[in-house]
Amino acid sequence: MSDKVKSKLTRKFPGVSRRSVLKSAAVGATAIGAGPLMFNIAKAASETIRIGFPVPLTGPYGSEAQEQARCAQIAVDQFNAGGGLGGRMAELLVRDDKLKPGEAATRTLELIEKDKVHFVCGSLSASVQLSVNAVTKARGIIYVSISQSDAINEAKDFSKYTFHEAMNPHMTAGAVGRYAFPKFGKRVAFLIADYAYGHEMVRGFKQAGEAHGIEVVAEVTHPLASKDFSPFLPQIQAARPDVLCLCNFGYDQMNSLKQATGFGMKQQMQVLAPALLYNQRRAGGAGAYEGVIGGANYHWTLENSVASAKAFNDAYRKENEGAPPSDYGAYGYAGVGALLDGVKKAGTTDSDPVIAALEELKYDKYKGTQYYRKCDHQSVQSVFIIESKSKKDMANEYDVFDIVHTDEASEDVLRSCAELGHEA
């Protein structure tokens, strides 16, 4: 207990590391030393590459957001350690969007106008990312979103400046459904958090289920952030489904799962959670999650088969007392990492060349090769189907999931460009 508390106390919020400040100071000093004639050219060439990073540091997803910021900082440090862009160092400017679209828009605007950031990466909510995206696309700033959303791929919200590093609900729910429906049965019940993300997951499941002839026997919506799910569960039990899909997130997922376990529902049906989260599982305990199957962009045990996962884990472990990174943290690392790869490839921070470079980029930051699909800039990547382990099967406190299947990276699992309203 006390060790855990201590590690939480000492794990400070990652701002700009001392190393990166010293480095940019040194570069700046060199530029000044180069003399007045060289000054202007030197300044342009040595100006820090600034990346704005609005995430909900406070509020219900605070720990996840801080994890994202920690991981993004690792990507920045690695870029700088590799010499930056011909000596130009990168800097991460983390801001708190408080999980509110309005707050996020204000912070993003400040980052662009006042802090003069070259790029924006971040957000941890479907609706907040749309609000950030609206600001960045109006100002021609590249934005890499690192949380799940279907809407951001659609032509209505998309712009050439918009990139989506995270998976989307369609591909996540689809992958989980394709894996589970043939295995566990056709009678499917949904417990749905009543907001966009919840309904997007249901749609993903249903589309994947068509091929397997699923029959929807119950579809129960619950208000967002419900505390007690017991009133919603009897109708699901009464419908006698083979499979229950929990289309909710965060504490809703954890509480509904805990309570469904209490009702003995896991003995009667297989429980699926499209976005089965590492941190949530660790907070919820092995008992409630045992046997639950879900989708994830990452689980650290991927290091046993993927070299980039091992490298990412090791970099993270070095700074975090041997603890491995979380799935959503990895989005922060990959989002900023891919962006800086694009910058390096383009040789500039100007938006258009960087966009062209990102569109051509094949990158492997932590989970195997990924790339941004041309029409909607959705990152094409593998989806991992994971199963939550029982307490006795865990090798250590971090060993919470088994990767039972990998849905390889493919555009086939995304909605088609035409379906999203993109031309050609």
The residues that touch another protein, with contacts defined as CB under 8 A, are 1, 5, 8-9, 60, 62-64, 194, 220-223, 225-228, 230-235, 237-238, 251, 254-255, 258-259, 262-264, 267, 279-280, 282-288
Smallest distance from the beta carbon of 291 to another protein, in angstroms?
Answer: 14
d(CA 64, CA 280): 9
**Minimal distance, residue 362 CB to another protein, in Å:** 34
- Name which of 73 and 261 has its Cβ closer to another protein: 261
User: Considering the complex, what minimum distance in angstroms separates the CB of residue 195 from another protein?
Assistant: 12
* Closer residue to another protein in complex, CB, 96/341: 96
The residue type found at 203 is R
- Cβ proximity to another protein: between 194 and 393 the closer is 194
By beta-carbon proximity to another protein, the closer residue of 294 and 342 is 294
Nearer to another protein, 221 or 406 (CB): 221
Q: What minimum distance in Å lies between the beta carbon of 155 and another protein?
A: 30
Nearer to another protein, 21 or 225 (CB): 225
> What is the rounded CA–CA span in Å between residue 236 and residue 393?
30
Beta bridge partners of 385: 295, 405
- Cβ atoms 294, 224 nearer than 8 A: no
DSSP type of residue 416: P
Asked if 290 contacts 389 with a C-beta cutoff of 8 angstroms, the reply is yes
Here the tokens at position 230 are 């017991």
Residue from 66, 69, 46 nearest 58 by CA:
66
Distance of closest approach, residue 258 Cβ to another protein, in angstroms: 6
Ramachandran angles phi, psi of 371, nearest 5°: -155, 160
Pick the closer one to another protein by CB: 140 or 291: 291
For residue 196, give the 3-state DSSP assignment.
helix
- H helices of 242-360, where? 250-262, 265-268, 278-284, 286-289, 307-319, 327-346, 351-360
d(CA 257, CA 271): 8
Closest separation between CB of residue 211 and another protein, Å? Answer: 29
The whole-angstrom distance between residue 389's C-alpha and the CA centroid of its chain comes to 22
CB of 201 to another protein, least distance (A): 17
- 30/235 with CB nearer another protein: 235
Place of tokens 């689980």: 299
CB of 244 to another protein, least distance (A): 14
Distance CA 280, CA 63 (A): 10
Tokens of 423: 């031309």
Least distance to another protein from the beta carbon of 197, Å?
A: 17
Pairwise CA distance, residues 69 & 55, whole Å: 8
Dist CA 254 CA 285 (whole Å): 9
Sign, Cα dihedral of 260, 261, 263, 266 = positive
- N- to C-terminal Cα distance for the chain? 57
Task: Identify which of residues 282 and 405 has a Cβ nearer to another protein in the complex.
Answer: 282
Q: How far is the CB of 188 from another protein (least distance, A)?
A: 18
Residue whose CB is less far from another protein, 137 or 258: 258
